[in-house]
Amino acid sequence: MRDGPLEITDLLWSSSGTAVVRADAVELLRSRGQVRAAQVVSMLPARDGVLDAEAIDALGLRIHRELQRLGEELQLGRRVASVVRTLLPAGSAPVRVVDVGCGLGHVLRSIAARGELPAHVDLVGVDLNAVLVAEASRLAALEGLDCRFVSADAFEPGGVIEDGSRTVVVSSGLMHHLAPEDLDGFFAAQARLGVAAFAHWDIAPCLWSTMGAWLFHQARMREAVSRHDGVMSARRAHPAETLLAAASRGAPDHDVEVREGSRWHPRALDVLRPLVGVRR
Ligand SMILES: C[S@@+](CC[C@H](N)C(=O)[O-])C[C@H]1O[C@@H](n2cnc3c(N)ncnc32)[C@H](O)[C@@H]1O
């Protein structure tokens, strides 16, 4: 778990699948000075002091639906596709685009629905949270889309990357969940498999993005957890220098750059910007 302030969603599911004791989560947040977050967690449904797993999974789905709406507002699918198109390995042999930490898979579902990548590109979303993966799969089937979703860890993507040289790995809103000391390992996990390229979108931390996140989440989000975590995401997003240094160490065979938008004339769509790595 990261040092410093936490997002509430960091605490709602345990990585080992064990029950989450509500009082422990509340205490942890209080110990980090997060009084409002502690109050939100203290009101979450629990049985015998343990967070009610079914209710928390349902809450997780509601939060991610709100996140999907934000992704739609920011036209994430279109933006990811426009960068990935430039990163695809040459030739017409199959290429795989893997979205790690895909949540409800709205980025790949949007790309598949609009046919924004060539037909030889296979779209696979990966997430640790099996409930989100099941919902992403259900939605893709309902929408008749040619993309699929599996449960896996972004730090162990080997199961979904068969031929690294014909794979592009993407993510959106994942990197700020990772501790700075874990970023090298995140990039290394992809580099070890020799991926052709990666492009990871996350919030550019600055006053504009924190203010914008607060305004947007107050206006559009209904869940207290979403409102809290949306602003916290912007506050704890990694600066470009941190991402670049970690990517250079973790993926030394890739040329890396952060494609920042302008700071002084911020455009809403630039709030999330990609760190792009291309194998030399
Ligand atoms: C803020 S959400 C972003 C979801 C989605 N990419 C989007 O743009 O809406 C972060 C997601 O990363 C997932 N996640 C966090 N750590 C992960 C890991 N190590 N491997 C795979 N998924 C992870 C979480 O379960 C969550 O769905």
Residue 132 CB–ligand 1 contact under 6 Å = yes
Mean pLDDT of 119-139: 97
Mean pLDDT of 60-67: 97
The residue among 255 and 267 whose pLDDT is bigger is 255
Atom of ligand 1 lying closest to residue 68 CA: 9
As a whole number of angstroms, the distance between CA 259 and CA 275 comes to: 6
The residue among 254 and 219 whose pLDDT is bigger is 254
For residue 125, what are its two tokens? 């979303």
Residue 153 CB–ligand 1 contact under 6 Å = yes
65, 222, 245 from 59: Cα distances, Å = 10, 11, 36
Residue owning the nearest CA to atom 4 of ligand 1:
103
pLDDT given at position 100: 98
Residue 67 CB–ligand 1 contact under 6 Å = yes
User: Minimal CA–CA distance to 167: which of 101, 121, 103, 125?
Assistant: 121
Ligand 1 centroid to residue 257 C-alpha, Å: 22
Atom of ligand 1 lying closest to residue 129 CA: 25
pLDDT given at position 267: 59
As a whole number of angstroms, the distance between CA 236 and CA 125 comes to: 24
pLDDT given at position 264: 59
Mean pLDDT of 54-78: 95
pLDDT given at position 212: 84
Residue 160 DSSP class: T
pLDDT given at position 14: 87
pLDDT given at position 266: 53
Model confidence band, residue 157 (pLDDT cutoffs 50, 70, 90): very high
Work out the percent of the chain whose per-residue pLDDT is above 90.
85
Computed on alpha carbons and rounded to an integer, the radius of gyration of the chain in Å comes to: 18
CB of 80 within 8 A of CB of 71? no
As a whole number of angstroms, the distance between CA 125 and CA 111 comes to: 12
As a whole number of angstroms, the distance between CA 241 and CA 183 comes to: 12
pLDDT in tens, 74-93: 899 999 999 999 999 999 99
Residue 157 CB–ligand 1 contact under 6 Å = no
pLDDT in tens, 188-224: 999 999 999 999 999 988 888 888 888 888 888 899 9
Residue 179 CB–ligand 1 contact under 6 Å = no
Residue owning the nearest CA to atom 3 of ligand 1:
173
Model confidence band, residue 46 (pLDDT cutoffs 50, 70, 90): very high
Mean pLDDT of 52-77: 95
User: Minimal CA–CA distance to 54: which of 116, 131, 122, 108?
Assistant: 131
Residue 71 CB–ligand 1 contact under 6 Å = yes
Ligand 1 centroid to residue 247 C-alpha, Å: 19
Mean pLDDT of 89-116: 97
CATH number at 66-279: 3.40.50.150
Ligand 1 centroid to residue 173 C-alpha, Å: 7
pLDDT given at position 218: 87
As a whole number of angstroms, the distance between CA 76 and CA 68 comes to: 9
Concatenate the DSSP letters of all residues of 88-127 into one string. SPSSSS-EEEEEET-TT-HHHHHHHHHT-S-TTEEEEEEE
pLDDT in tens, 16-33: 878 999 999 999 999 999
- Residue extents of the structural domains in the chain: 8-51, 66-279
Model confidence band, residue 260 (pLDDT cutoffs 50, 70, 90): confident
Give 209: exposed, middle or buried? Use CB within 10 Å, 0-12, 13-18, 19+.
buried
As a whole number of angstroms, the distance between CA 41 and CA 17 comes to: 19
91, 128, 147, 244 from 249: Cα distances, Å = 30, 25, 32, 9
The residue among 265 and 271 whose pLDDT is bigger is 271
Ligand 1 centroid to residue 153 C-alpha, Å: 9
Model confidence band, residue 265 (pLDDT cutoffs 50, 70, 90): low
Residue owning the nearest CA to atom 8 of ligand 1:
172
pLDDT given at position 263: 59
pLDDT given at position 132: 97
Q: Which residues contact 190 (CB under 8 A, 6 or more apart)?
A: 157, 161, 164, 169, 198, 251
